[in-house]
Amino acid sequence: MTAPQSKELYPIRVVSRLTGLSAHTIRMWERRYGAVTPSRSDGNTRQYSREDVRRLAQLGRATSRGHRIRDVVGLPTEQLQRLLDADSPGDPTLVLRADDNLAVLRADYLEAVSRFEGRQSADILSRTAALLKPYALIFDVVLPILRETGSRWESGAFTVAHEHLVTFQMRGLLDTLLRLTHTQAGAPRLVVATPAGHLHEFGVLAGALIAAMRGFEPIYLGPNVPEKDLTVTLASSRANVLLLGVLRTMSSSEHNAFDAMLKRIGKVAEPWVGLPAEHAAKGAVAGVRYFDSFEALDLALTGRIGGHR
């Protein structure tokens, strides 16, 4: 099988990590069965396209479920996918087979960030995004990276500069995901931000990514947004949901001001607030939806988009 040419080419060590196949197995499947036909660099090293990787991942999944490689290698891609779907209907992971492979990719990304290798870390992120379905990308790659970045920042292993590098690249991922999801005209919008005085945006950035995956058009404003700007954006965009992220503890006066703001905003849009489970602000204002996990937010978004449709 000759893969189409692609601008994104992967060396065999990366293909091995992405598919869970050993380099020896990949080479043997090429020689013996013609599973894929990678291109060659000027130095005569193998370079695999995105289509090659997808094909090898499919074959790897098929053989891991008991099919012999010689029986499945000649199947067209669509037929092979139907076989896999029949073996495991509803399987959300279509490319990367094992959590260990994702762990390696996350570790590689964070290691590149730790050395401020911005180009390398961005490349790891973008190529992983190209190979994973949105759900797996967000919940198995993005969220663990954001959590680990936050933990390293709190422990002093990462500086503010490291955090900013990750945030910058995740914003770029959000832009890419929005382009790739092809949000339909008339899709529901939601405004996503942290309120004034709250600077940590990882939570709302992840929330915006989940919303995009679920078919919303998120209007991402970032951190430290004053109430008047939130209100103007809601009115101008005709969004009917405002998703705010709150991480740090608040003084009594801050807490009261925040609750009063939510009540005012509740007159023009539905306030949703993401915050830690133990946060004092949780449940303080009637009519506000509070979330202490991304899974709960995802469930709410899924229900909301289902009702919209």
Looking at the structure, tell me whether residues 144 and 55 fall in a common domain.
Answer: no
Query: What's the pLDDT at 96?
Result: 42
Which are the contacts of 267, defined by CB distance < 8 A and separation ≥ 6?
Answer: none
Which of these three, 141, 157, 180, is where a domain ends?
180
Is 4 part of a structural domain of the chain?
no
pLDDT tens digits for range 220-257: 999 999 999 999 999 999 999 999 999 999 999 999 99
Query: What's the pLDDT at 134?
Result: 75
Looking at the structure, tell me whether residues 193 and 299 fall in a common domain.
Answer: yes
pLDDT band at residue 178 using 50, 70 and 90 as cut-offs: low
Query: What's the pLDDT at 306?
Result: 57
Looking at the structure, tell me whether residues 190 and 211 fall in a common domain.
Answer: yes
Query: What's the pLDDT at 94?
Result: 40
Q: Are 97 and 54 in contact (CB under 8 A)?
A: no
Residue 98 has pLDDT above 60, yes or no: no
Looking at the structure, tell me whether residues 191 and 171 fall in a common domain.
Answer: no
Query: What's the pLDDT at 246?
Result: 95
Is 1 part of a structural domain of the chain?
no
Residue 51 has pLDDT above 60, yes or no: yes
Tally of structural domains, the chain = 3
Looking at the structure, tell me whether residues 18 and 69 fall in a common domain.
Answer: yes
Q: How confident is the prediction for the chain on average, in pLDDT?
A: 85
Looking at the structure, tell me whether residues 162 and 213 fall in a common domain.
Answer: no
Looking at the structure, tell me whether residues 47 and 159 fall in a common domain.
Answer: no
> Which region among 50-59, 72-81, 130-139 has the lowest average model confidence (pLDDT)?
130-139
Looking at the structure, tell me whether residues 281 and 202 fall in a common domain.
Answer: yes
Is 39 part of a structural domain of the chain?
yes
Query: What's the pLDDT at 176?
Result: 74
Q: Give dist(CA 25, CA 16) in Å, integer.
A: 9
Looking at the structure, tell me whether residues 165 and 202 fall in a common domain.
Answer: no
Residue 302 has pLDDT above 90, yes or no: no
Q: Domain of 36: which CATH number?
A: 1.10.1660.10
Which of these three, 159, 180, 201, is where a domain ends?
180
Is 123 part of a structural domain of the chain?
yes
Which of these three, 87, 107, 136, is where a domain ends?
87
pLDDT band at residue 262 using 50, 70 and 90 as cut-offs: very high
Q: Domain of 196: which CATH number?
A: 3.40.50.280
Looking at the structure, tell me whether residues 36 and 115 fall in a common domain.
Answer: no
Is 92 part of a structural domain of the chain?
no
Query: Can you give the pTM of this predicted structure?
Result: 0.62
Residue 1 has pLDDT above 60, yes or no: no
> Which region among 67-71, 145-149, 161-165, 177-181 has the lowest average model confidence (pLDDT)?
177-181
Is 2 part of a structural domain of the chain?
no
What's the rounded mean pLDDT across residues 49-59? Answer: 86
Give the dihedral sign, CA 59/63/68/71.
negative
* Full residue range of the structural domain in which residue 210 is found: 183-308
Q: Domain of 126: which CATH number?
A: 1.10.1240.10
Query: What's the pLDDT at 31?
Result: 92
Query: Which residues lie across from 192 on neighbouring strands?
Result: 220, 243
pLDDT band at residue 157 using 50, 70 and 90 as cut-offs: very high
Please tell me what DSSP assigns to residue 36. Answer: -
Looking at the structure, tell me whether residues 196 and 303 fall in a common domain.
Answer: yes
Which are the contacts of 206, defined by CB distance < 8 A and separation ≥ 6?
Answer: 138, 142, 143, 146, 170, 294
Is 70 part of a structural domain of the chain?
yes
Encode 216-228 in three state secondary structure: CEEEEEEEEECHH
Looking at the structure, tell me whether residues 116 and 13 fall in a common domain.
Answer: no
Between 128 and 260, name the one with better pLDDT: 260
Query: What's the pLDDT at 5?
Result: 40
